[in-house]
Every structure is written in C-alpha cells, then in structure tokens.
A = this chain, B = another copy of it.
Amino acid sequence: MAGRGFYLAITGGIGGAKLALGLSRILSPEALVLVVNTGDDFEHYGLHISPDVDTLIYTLGGQCNQDTGWGRSEESWTFMSALEALGGETWFQLGDKDLAMHVLRTNLLQDGLSLGEITSKLAGSFGIQNSILPMTNDFVQTKVNTVDGLLSFQHYFVRERCKPVVREILYDGASIAAPNPDIVSALNDENLSGVILCPSNPFLSIDPFLSIGGVRDCLRNCRAPIIAVSPLVSGKAIKGPLAKIMSELSIPVKANSIAKHYSEFLDGFVLDNEDREWEQTITESGINALVTNIVMRTMEDREQLARDCIELIDRLAEKPLKKGGAKNDKPMGSDSG
C-alpha cells in the first residue's frame, strides 16, 4: 500500500463492523476512513438513535457485546425494566450504557452540531483514532414496503423481526440529502488507495448510502479500485434477513447476485471458499474475484480477511482496471482473479 494512501470502507452494523475492526487492526489510523450507514437512524422516546454508528463505535472501541454483535459489553438493563414497569414501549432495547450515547447525541444535535461532528466526538471518547463518517448529515430513512404495509426500518427490523414479506425498499429523504462532504472529499482524494464495501446487507446497509444524490456517480468516477465482500456464504446470510429479503425480491440468493448488484462501479469481489462455483461467472462479468474465507469467527479471521481485501485492492491498482466506461479510460487488461 502507498505510504500516504488510505482506504475507505463502507459499512453497516454487525457484519460490516467486524471487517472494519479487522481493517483497523492492520492499517494505521490515518490509512482507514470508515463510512457508516445512518438509514437505520430513528427517533425513539425523543432520542436520536444511530444503531449502525453505535455498533461500529462499540466494535472499534472494544466495547461491543460479543454475543449479540450489537449493543455494549457488560451492559445492564435497569432503565428498560423501569420503563416497562411504567408501561413504556420495550420493543427496542435500550441498555443503560447505550442510552448515554443516545441522550448525548440528541442533546448535541439540539445544540446544532452535525451528526458527523457528534460521531467524531463520541468515537474519540472510545479512543478510536479512525475517522468515522456517517453517510450523511441529513435524515435519510430506510423504509420497507411489505405485504403488511409501509414500515419504518426499526419497526420492520426490530419490532416485526423481519417477518413481513418485502416488496420494495425505499430510502426516504435520499433524493434531497447530500452525502457527508468529508466522504465526497475522500472519494476524490488522490491519495485514496481503494474502497471496500464491507459484508453488510446491500439493501439495508449499503444502498441507503448509494441512494444519496451524487454518490453512485462519485463511485463510478472513482480512480481507485472498488471492491466488495460478499455477505452471503452458500446462499445464506451470515447474519440477518438478507437471504429472506433477496428471495422476496426475486433475486437469486447467490454470491454473484451481490457482485451484480454493485457491478456499475465494482472492480473486485471477495467471496467465500464455499462459493467458488461463482468465481468464473463473476470474472466473466468483468469483476476480479478473490476466493477466500470470509466467515469472521475469530479476530485472526477479521484481520486475515482485511489483509485479503487490501491485497486485492493493491493488486488491482497495479494494473488497468477491468471496468471501462466512465470509471476509467485505460484499456482493459487481463484478469488475475
């Protein structure tokens, strides 16, 4: 990797945060910038809650609940029990420690700070040195159109436990939102070495960012290689409702569907050893494929997958990128995937 170069990783919560953690452990703080989904953000009890931002902060700060993948380690639930005793809603669990983030964030928003400034401040409190950039400072809300009607993301995801059949996923506010300006600067920075789409749910965690005006153009025009890591292994999501949603949207639940989903700007795709059968299809579509272990059970798994991603990017950077058109105007080279 280049001395002054840096990598941009785009992530949602749990699964993506695992790879972000691996990347943060093999790269210097200034060599990794993290873009995080805020399409899951919502107001609950007057509090502004940013689930993916918090999951990423807790994960990088070493204070994530290892059992659930979300929430804080050594969490307590006294507030929640007291709220329940008062007849309050309890479908969204608010831990006593976690609550401090929501209360402080809400207060700082009321004081006029942007979500980006607040995230930076909160991450700093956890000793995190990487830049964590919320995808936008505006309010973009993922909504799920289901057979039971239109649901806000948290109502679909947490309250209804993803049970209603999905017809369509919408990103309310995306057309009038602006991407976080620090992200646009990073994507246009000549020192950008590469972009990694973490193994998050494309529809719920990555597309909210992609749906913001100008972001797809930015990625199509990006001079650095862009790769994605599959969130599927053997047709199953490692965690979460991705497989269910894909089948409800009539999309084949296969790793190559993910590569295809990002194909307009994708240079490389990392898929699991179990999905080796799709390597050729992906390669033939003009995307470099890397087959490796993408299941991150241990910290070593996280670091190894991070290394695999960086190596793929660095290899792609050394040769003309497969993708032509708007992305770059160099002649197509041979595939080494």
Contacts and interface: CB of A to CB of B under 8 A. Distances in A.
Interface of A: 45-47, 76, 78-79, 81-83, 85-88, 96-101, 103-104, 106-107, 110, 121-122, 125
6 contacts: A78-B78, A79-B97, A81-B97, A82-B97, A86-B104, A96-B96
Contacts of A98: 82
B106 A45 contact: yes
Contacts of A121: 87
A100 B88 contact: yes
Identical subunits present? 2
B78 A97 contact: yes
Given A45-B106, A79-B100, A81-B97, 9 more contacts: A45-B104, A46-B103, A79-B96, A79-B103, A82-B96, A82-B100, A86-B100, A86-B104, A86-B125
A33 to B, nearest CB: 22
A99 B101 contact: no
Contacts of A81: 97
Contacts of A125: 85-87
A125 B81 CA distance: 13
Contacts of A47: 103
A82 B98 CA distance: 8
A88 B82 CA distance: 23
A45 B107 contact: yes
A84 to B, nearest CB: 8
Given A46-B46, A46-B107, A110-B46, A101 B86 contact: yes
Nearest to A94: B103
Contacts of A45: 103-104, 106-107
A125 to B, nearest CB: 5
A83 B103 CA distance: 8
A78 B96 contact: yes
A276 to B, nearest CB: 45
A189 B194 CA distance: 77
A78 to B, nearest CB: 4
A96 B75 CA distance: 12
A86 B46 contact: no
B104 A88 contact: yes
Contacts of A107: 45-46, 88
